[in-house]
Structure 1
Amino acid sequence: MRSMLGARANRVTIRSNSGAGWQDLTSNFHSRPEDRHSCASYANEGSLALPFCNASCNTNSLVAVGDEEGGIRLLDSSKDDQRGFSEAYLGFRPHMNSVMDLEFSSDDMLLATASGDQTSLVIDMTTQQPIYCLSNHVSSVKRVQFQPAANNKVLATCSRDGNVNIWDLRCKGVERPSLQVQCSLESEGDHSALATAPKVTYPHVLNTIHGAHSYSTPQNLTLDKNDPPPFGRSDITVTSLAFLPSGRENLFVTASEASASVRLWDLRTAHNNRRGRPVLPLSTSREPDSHVKYRRFGLTSMAFGGDGARLYTLCRDGTVYAYATSHLVLGHAPELSLNNNRPRRTGGADKDGLGPLYGFRHPRLQVSSFYVKLAMRKAANDRPEMLAVGSSDHCAMLFPTDERYLDSPVQKPEDDLPRQPSLFSTRSGLRRTNSGVGLSGRLEDTIPIYQSGTPLVEGHQKEVTGASWTVDGELITVSDDYSARCWREGPEARELRTNGEGEGRRWQCGWAATVDPYDDEDE
């Protein structure tokens, strides 16, 4: 496929992963001052708005950034764009509340939003006007995603109310004015704003999974008269969901705030609700053993690898766990076979799935809030598959997912903390100690944990939350420092690492903090 000669052969073939280490894949990322965008406020001129999420287009270099005021701005990550990344391509404000998540359709003609106003909008990007409003949740919507290979007509949303909704834009809906109407205090009693408000279609929800991650005490448990009454929760926040790739797009997984368990669902059991039966998951994966022994941690985000063989979840214990998709159901699982056309009509009993295969961890990977997300770059154009993760330690993290580089597991700590069984603890996020070892590092891990991560430093000054990959392989991150950054690959990263602070060369720049063998001048 490729022939290389000369002393620089190994260096050039990094792009094809031949003869390269994992640090060679992450050491070239950097960000220049012109790759930084300050998120100006739509409501108060001269002030800034906190960016919450971002999403990249699938066919071009544009990136959408949603903020706390309900505004969305489009940025162009292309190096050849005249405006540059620092200036917005265009902006509009479809919500009056924060935008929690964004998702482009496969052709980029539609943009789906998830908002704190308990609704999701489907926006026509040619006019920047909403054409559908998905309104059935009773709390903030956390995630929205298009179903692959469904002609961009089927979506799924999850919310803090604990429910998952499935929507089909082809179903008959009701047309009425949008809820996003700004009323003027000066014209009291004037309903002209309502009369002239643009109308949108409100589709009927196709199916609702109530209490997708609810739990309760076992029904066969015998209680003494002095025992406390049975308990349970049905409002556990569903923090994330993800569809399997094309071929098995009828399946999707969900995660919650309560534990690291992942639940697998089949869209084709939607008719169960019409018969008054609850929709049951196909399976529920096991938690990591260290969580069961000490305490439980929730998941904030998850994504599938390019071929769908691995599922990566970001946990509040500061670890990215990798699951085998084929092991999400333990035993015979015809539901996971490609193009399976025989759904489990009755839903059946919830099967068990295996726990994670291994995990990624790094001293600078901290997850202090549920706003921290991860994003997957698929392998394309000689670029390897790579995982980007936000962090509360003012940086983003890069983890190559090629399992050939997983050869140096973290050593287990010697100290032993007292462990007590805890059911869905609600303690706040855990911060690492000054020594760089947090509670997650002291847990008794029964799976391999790898530290093959590279932090992108100095680009942000506060928690890095959202991350997305552009079609050209650049990384876009947003942070609580009111900025969005574009990280590119190139030799400039080595210069920023080695040249120091002289003459302001590092001013407003960011780079991959890695021990790169090519930085050694003797070599």
Structure 2
Amino acid sequence: MDAYVAAKLGGVPHLAIATEQGTVDILNTSKRDDWDVEPQRVTVQPHENGIFDVKWSPSDTLIATASGDHSIRISTLASSVAADDRTLHILCGHEGTVKSVAWDPAHDGAVLCSGSRDGGICLWDLRVGERADAGAMIPVLSIAKAHNLQGKTTKPKAPRGKLVPGVPLQSITHLLYTDTHPYSVISSCASEGILHLWDVRLPSSNTRPKTKKAAKQLPKPLFSSTDPTTYAGARRGRGITTLALGAGPTAALVFALGIDSRVHTYTLPSLAPLSGHMDSASALGILDDPHAYADERMKTNSFYVRMATSPCGRWLATGGAAEGRAYLYDISAAGRAGGRGRSGQGAGVELRGQTGEVGAVDWADGVLATCADDGTVRTWRPDVDVSRRCREDPREMAWEWAWSTDA
């Protein structure tokens, strides 16, 4: 099983587990003592193809799924709706695998955006969206090739018989709404560490382009970052897999997990990167960056590895590309003026209890969920008593518990 998780916030904790078979399983992850009884689940199948992202609506009443079938589907879990009728909307407007979907928190359950391997961003309004011939909804706003602002990409040329690098992928890897600027969405892509902030307010007759020339000029990002992944004169940037918004002590910050195995920090709304400004002569090099989070064992050189920040804004969790490892960082100092983030060797807390790649991670209130290639999803909670017992008798406790250790 290759799954992605999204943790429901508020009320009874639930977990949405999406698979490469196109199904979504909803499990109650309330703390329980009887490990022999699997929690009750509800299963829906919105797709016949792999699901690459799943998101709860802000009020936890709907789920949006992004799939390899080039569509987004909106499903309800209401018990009053028959299982075969739970897919409410089919959204079609991309020409490639849809990699990310995000709900607009200002329009609960009505407005969302999506990003695709085709490099485009689509905005959807479930209240007024037009429908194609087959009944699928079409986007109310589209941004084609959102991370190719220079226009058409030319194919590299080389003498006959010579190999040249291909054109970097411009696919959209993640989208994130932010409340620091009205109607704004942040996007990341697979080929660089540059982020864009877009104005995606619902279009009106006054804002639509009047001519074909004007249409080609619109839209443009309100803010664009520089690339913090180009450390010490690196020749090319590294892609971003996930974006996460800070809260509480880390409000007005955006964290981005790169395939350079580091978490970079950006400010809002300008997207100015705080990380990546290290002196190349530093003894510790990139691991000494006070605004980048890394560990010598953390490898995130896979676009299936994700990251998430806790609702309180203090903790950041990342998956890992090998050995069943996930990592937890205290990012509370990142929001302080002049505060130094914890980075470098020994900075993270290592979470071990699975095998293979740990891909999806997500939070509920006081609960972290991790999903791995071994087909398991684990939920992690702080428990002082269990932690003490694990330290006292690790061999015996290993049969029932997985626990974190200081890296």
State the TM-score, normalizing by the size of structure 2.
0.81
The structural deviation recorded for 1:272 is: 4.8
Distance 1:366 1:354, change over 3 A: closer
The structural deviation recorded for 1:306 is: 1.5
Alignment-mate amino acid for residue 298 of structure 1: G
* 1:76–1:85 Cα contact (<8 Å) kept: no
Q: Which residue of 2 aligns with 1:52?
A: 3
Q: Which residue of 1 aligns with 2:99?
A: 142
CA distance in 2, matches of 1:326, 1:76: 36
Alignment-mate amino acid for residue 385 of structure 1: R
Distance 1:84 1:368, change over 3 A: farther
* 1:243–1:249 Cα contact (<8 Å) kept: no
Distance 1:171 1:101, change over 3 A: same
CA distance in 2, matches of 1:409, 1:203: 45
Larger Rg: 1
Q: Which residue of 1 aligns with 2:157?
A: none
What stretches of structure 2 of length at least 5 have no aligned partner?
154-164, 277-290
Q: Which residue of 2 aligns with 1:260?
A: 193
Find 1:398's aligned residue among 322, 328, 333.
Answer: 328
2:74 is the counterpart of 1:116 = no
Q: Which residue of 1 aligns with 2:54?
A: 102
CA distance in 2, matches of 1:362, 1:124: 40
Alignment-mate amino acid for residue 453 of structure 1: G
Distance 1:157 1:407, change over 3 A: closer
The structural deviation recorded for 1:497 is: 3.3
Distance 1:234 1:387, change over 3 A: closer
Distance 1:487 1:204, change over 3 A: same
Q: Which residue of 1 aligns with 2:398?
A: 506
The structural deviation recorded for 1:257 is: 0.6
The structural deviation recorded for 1:76 is: 1.2
What SS does the corresponding residue of 2:391 show, helix, strand or coil? helix
* 1:75–1:85 Cα contact (<8 Å) kept: no
Q: Which residue of 1 aligns with 2:370?
A: 477
Q: Which residue of 2 aligns with 1:77?
A: 29
The structural deviation recorded for 1:509 is: 2.7
The structural deviation recorded for 1:326 is: 3.8
CA deviation string 1:317-366 (max 9, x = no partner): 100011111432xxxxxxxxxxxxxxxxxxxxxxxx45537100112211
* 2:141–2:202 Cα contact (<8 Å) kept: no
Find 2:239's aligned residue among 285, 289, 298.
Answer: 298
Return the structure number with greater relative CO, CA threshold 8 A, min gap 6.
1
CA distance in 1, matches of 2:93, 2:152: 30
Distance 1:490 1:119, change over 3 A: same
CA distance in 2, matches of 1:408, 1:124: 40
CA RMSD of aligned residues (A): 2.9
Q: Which residue of 2 aligns with 1:319?
A: 262
CA deviation string 1:50-99 (max 9, x = no partner): 13211111233111000111111111111159898844422122211111
State the TM-score, normalizing by the size of structure 1.
0.64
* 1:149–1:249 Cα contact (<8 Å) kept: no
Alignment-mate amino acid for residue 54 of structure 1: V
CA distance in 2, matches of 1:274, 1:365: 50
* 1:273–1:279 Cα contact (<8 Å) kept: no
What SS does the corresponding residue of 1:327 show, helix, strand or coil? coil
Distance 1:249 1:356, change over 3 A: farther
Distance 1:291 1:141, change over 3 A: farther
Aligned pairs for 1:412-451 (under 5 A) are none
